[in-house]
Amino acid sequence: MFNTSTITIIKKSCIFTLEIIDFYDELTLTGKKPIAIRVLSSTLNGITSLQKALHATKNREFNESKTQALRHFKNVAYWIEQCEKSGYWFDEILLRNALEILEFCNSKEFAV
């Protein structure tokens, strides 16, 4: 059964994915498609890993999915930060949301 914080992070991750798609579009329109692809791919892979971890029934499956989710969300945050440093299109709220999801994946609340 999911608790309140888990439901909240599921909702946030779905909204975040839609925001990343908009971010992808903005980066693509400004000629930054290679970065856009990295951000979108890492987001989709991170969300998938997060969902797998949330539905895991075995510790091994949970730990593998959690590790993958952490890796992907670190990558998302990294690329969003690089966009800011490089003067590309940047959204502070998007970065904050990525870091919040990453923080959840690192928290004690996120456990089997």
Q: What percent of the chain has pLDDT over 90?
A: 71
pLDDT of the residue at 36: 94
List the structure tokens of 12.
């946030």
Nearest to 39 by CA among 110, 100, 87, 89: 89
Considering the four listed CATH numbers 1.10.10.10, 1.20.1440.60, 3.40.50.300, 1.10.287.3610, the one that applies to the domain covering 4-105 is: 1.20.1440.60
Residue 1 has pLDDT above 60, yes or no: no
Q: Per 3-state DSSP, what percentage of the chain is helix, strand, and coil (rounded to 5)?
A: 80, 0, 20
Whose structure tokens read 């990558």? 75
List the structure tokens of 68.
């993958």
In Å, how far from its chain's centre is CA 108?
A: 18
